Amino acid sequence: MGLTGAYIAGAVAAPWLNAPQAVAQTIDTHAADLVVFNAKVYTMDNRALRAEAFAVKAGRFVAVGRTTDIKGLIAKETQTIDARQMTIVPGFTDCHNHAPGTTLLYEVLVGNPFEVEFVTIRSIVDKLRARAQETPAGRWVEGYFFDDTKVKDGRMLNVHDLDEVSKEHPVAVHHRGGHTSFYNSKALELAGVTKNAKDPAGGTFDRDEHGDLNGRVTDRARSVFANTGSRQTLTADETAQRSRDGLAHISKQFVRYGLTSVHHQGGDLFALQQVRARGDLLHRVSYEVNGRVLEAMITSGIATGFGDEWIRLGATSEHTVDGSFSERTMALSIPYPGVTPPYKGNITETQDELNAWVERGHRAGIQINCHANGDVAIDMVLTAFERAQKLFPRPDARPKITHCTLINDDLLRRIKATGTIPACFTSYAYYNTDKFRFYGEELMKRAMPFRSFLDAGVPACAGSDFSPGPFAPLMGIQGMVTRTGWNGETWGANQRVSVDEAIRINTLNGAYASREEAIKGSISAGKLADFVILADDPHTVDPSKIKDIRIVRTVVGGSTMYQA
Ligand SMILES: [Zn+2]
């Protein structure tokens, strides 16, 4: 078969034609398990950027090239897929995800976890009231995935709305960003929060224009609700069962959106292995360690990389150094625009504490990963990395900065010099543009700076930060390419990247971030056969429609894990 005219006219004119060795050296005489042909394959492999077909055997790509050549590997038992000129890219990787899945499966969801969707306050009240009716009085009724800028009513949820849910149950609605919650009168009463309550350090009880509690409570002020009311008690077995079922459930969601690898922030490691054993783990996991697991690694000499192609111990979980981008508490070197009294965000660690934490993990051969959004926090993290490398030089340590949102030229230079990998927000540029105005264009020009990173040769990767951000890679790619949000606003257009660059960030760079670029991240002979078939080509559709491209099939290790 021949290439279409449009295909040949592309910027990269079938470069694989100049690299026949990519096919020749890997073809063996045995029949393939799977052959996919008649496709527009974007390999993300610099030696041969495009192909028409590939063959898979024992879970790996064994040959990549032209349809006519690859068809020669079809035997009687070979499964074949005629892609009918659809687009194929490597499986997507999300390098920052809070992925237990139990909230999705067992809790009341008052917002859409996956897409931009406006809800009404009425719908929130109705969903919670239904839950209250099957819940004993005095026990908590809670809703999740609320987003204050995705409400049709155009006003803040308040205590009166939640009093309509119940006067007998404490009721809470949690913001998906993870830093604010909304409570009803019963909850406030049980916690002893009255009109005269003082704000504790690191949090607030918010008020309406009359000075009355409006039900919104921020950050650490929420701790007063921890031991009030009653909560459903689960046995150890029930908790374990929920952990397994939650992971199995979220794994299905990942492959539905084309993710084949996800970096998990901790979670139940035993449950993860059980889910895999029972055949319900559909994606590959880079397990980012914290707590007991991190401590056990350090004390027993287990370094990053232990595990296998399905579950591998990755970097540490994000070690938090400052506040949040979406809820406007990240640490800036200048005051937040338009905020009085002047406010520069929250630093949550001293430099000395951070230095000690980084050094200990670094010496133990563990890839360090810190959460830093603001320029002040990024500076602190780099200072700690530089110090640790000086004390204990370790080549190619690849420290990771989760979010790494706001940079400047000096930070960029140091990120490059230390070999640091930034895992920046991806879906925010589409999903959260309604929050960019709080920073303003001057700061947004330096925020989520994918263009700056690529130009400097820094292998930035994609980190959705689910639950705060949706994890759909195509939504992320659309935002990275357009820097335009659901509301039509464009911020920091100077940081746009090309479609090809955005795909690379979401695939090969993700593999690099977990030190697995030799085995995944591109469609290359010898690598794991993880790929996605897309109904349309993101290079040629209207950029504002990239997120709507249908995922036709998600394949991990040669096995179809999702099919539309
Ligand atoms: Zn996070």
For every residue of 395-438, DSSP letters joined together read: TT---EEEE--B--HHHHHHHHHHT-EEEE-STHHHHSGGGGGG
* Centroid of ligand 1 to alpha carbon of 425 (angstroms): 10
Q: Which two tokens stand for residue 107?
A: 């809790």
Looking at residue 28, what is its pLDDT?
A: 54
Q: Which two tokens stand for residue 326?
A: 């979406």
* Centroid of ligand 1 to alpha carbon of 403 (angstroms): 8
* Centroid of ligand 1 to alpha carbon of 276 (angstroms): 24
Query: 152 with 162: CB under 8 angstroms?
Result: no
* Centroid of ligand 1 to alpha carbon of 346 (angstroms): 16
- Cβ burial of 36 (10 Å; 0-12, 13-18, 19+) is buried
* Centroid of ligand 1 to alpha carbon of 393 (angstroms): 28
Q: Which residues of 118-144 are buried (b: 16+ CB within 10 A; e: fewer)?
A: ebebeebbebbeebbeebeeeebbbbb
Phi, psi of 239 (to 5 degrees): -60, -45
Q: Which residues of 255-284 are buried (b: 16+ CB within 10 A; e: fewer)?
A: bbbbbbbbbbbbbbbebbbbbbeeeebbbb
* Centroid of ligand 1 to alpha carbon of 487 (angstroms): 25
* Centroid of ligand 1 to alpha carbon of 37 (angstroms): 39
Looking at residue 326, what is its pLDDT?
A: 86
Query: 429 with 488: CB under 8 angstroms?
Result: no
* Centroid of ligand 1 to alpha carbon of 176 (angstroms): 12
* Centroid of ligand 1 to alpha carbon of 414 (angstroms): 23
* Centroid of ligand 1 to alpha carbon of 465 (angstroms): 5
* Centroid of ligand 1 to alpha carbon of 373 (angstroms): 11
For residues 237, 241, 246, 251, the Cα torsion angle rounded to the nearest 10 degrees is 130
- CA 511/CA 62 separation, integer angstroms: 19
* Centroid of ligand 1 to alpha carbon of 318 (angstroms): 7
Query: 386 with 418: CB under 8 angstroms?
Result: yes
Name 492's Cβ contacts closer than 8 Å, sequence gap at least 6. 436, 441, 444, 445, 446, 447, 448, 449, 483
* Centroid of ligand 1 to alpha carbon of 199 (angstroms): 26
* Centroid of ligand 1 to alpha carbon of 96 (angstroms): 6
* Centroid of ligand 1 to alpha carbon of 240 (angstroms): 23
pTM above 0.85, yes or no: yes
- DSSP states of 101-142: -HHHHHSEE-S-SSS---B-HHHHHHHHHHHHHTS-TTB-EE
Q: Which of 26, 93, 16 is nearest to 60 (CA)?
A: 26
- CA 545/CA 524 separation, integer angstroms: 28
Strands of the sheet containing 53-57, edge to edge, are 60-65, 53-57, 34-37, 79-82
* Centroid of ligand 1 to alpha carbon of 193 (angstroms): 30
DSSP H or E segment with residue 462: strand 461-462
Name 475's Cβ contacts closer than 8 Å, sequence gap at least 6. 115, 426, 427, 430, 431, 547
* Centroid of ligand 1 to alpha carbon of 410 (angstroms): 25
Beta strand ranges found along 187-283 (DSSP E): 203-207, 213-219, 259-265
- CA 446/CA 169 separation, integer angstroms: 46
What 3-state class would DSSP assign to 500? helix
* Centroid of ligand 1 to alpha carbon of 288 (angstroms): 11
Taking the chain (564 residues) in runs of 10, the rounded mean pLDDT of each run is 30 36 49 97 97 97 97 95 98 95 96 96 98 96 95 95 97 91 97 93 87 92 93 94 97 98 97 98 98 96 97 97 87 90 87 97 98 97 98 97 98 98 97 93 97 98 96 98 97 98 98 98 98 98 98 98 97
- CA 6/CA 13 separation, integer angstroms: 10
* Centroid of ligand 1 to alpha carbon of 371 (angstroms): 7
* Centroid of ligand 1 to alpha carbon of 402 (angstroms): 7
* Centroid of ligand 1 to alpha carbon of 189 (angstroms): 32
* Centroid of ligand 1 to alpha carbon of 185 (angstroms): 31
Rg (CA), the chain: 24
Looking at residue 361, what is its pLDDT?
A: 98
* Centroid of ligand 1 to alpha carbon of 557 (angstroms): 28
- CA 88/CA 507 separation, integer angstroms: 12
* Centroid of ligand 1 to alpha carbon of 562 (angstroms): 26
* Centroid of ligand 1 to alpha carbon of 12 (angstroms): 37
Looking at residue 99, what is its pLDDT?
A: 82
Q: Which two tokens stand for residue 422?
A: 């930034």
User: What residues pack around ion ligand 1 (CB closer than 5 A)?
Assistant: 465
* Centroid of ligand 1 to alpha carbon of 98 (angstroms): 6
Q: Which of 256, 368, 305 is nearest to 519 (CA)?
A: 305
Sign of the four-CA dihedral 430, 434, 439, 442: positive
* Centroid of ligand 1 to alpha carbon of 209 (angstroms): 34
Name 181's Cβ contacts closer than 8 Å, sequence gap at least 6. 172, 173, 174, 175, 216, 217, 222, 225
Residue with the two structure tokens 């990239």: 546
* Centroid of ligand 1 to alpha carbon of 340 (angstroms): 28
What 3-state class would DSSP assign to 240? helix
* Centroid of ligand 1 to alpha carbon of 63 (angstroms): 38
* Centroid of ligand 1 to alpha carbon of 264 (angstroms): 10
* Centroid of ligand 1 to alpha carbon of 320 (angstroms): 9
* Centroid of ligand 1 to alpha carbon of 265 (angstroms): 7
Residue with the two structure tokens 């111990």: 313
* Centroid of ligand 1 to alpha carbon of 463 (angstroms): 9
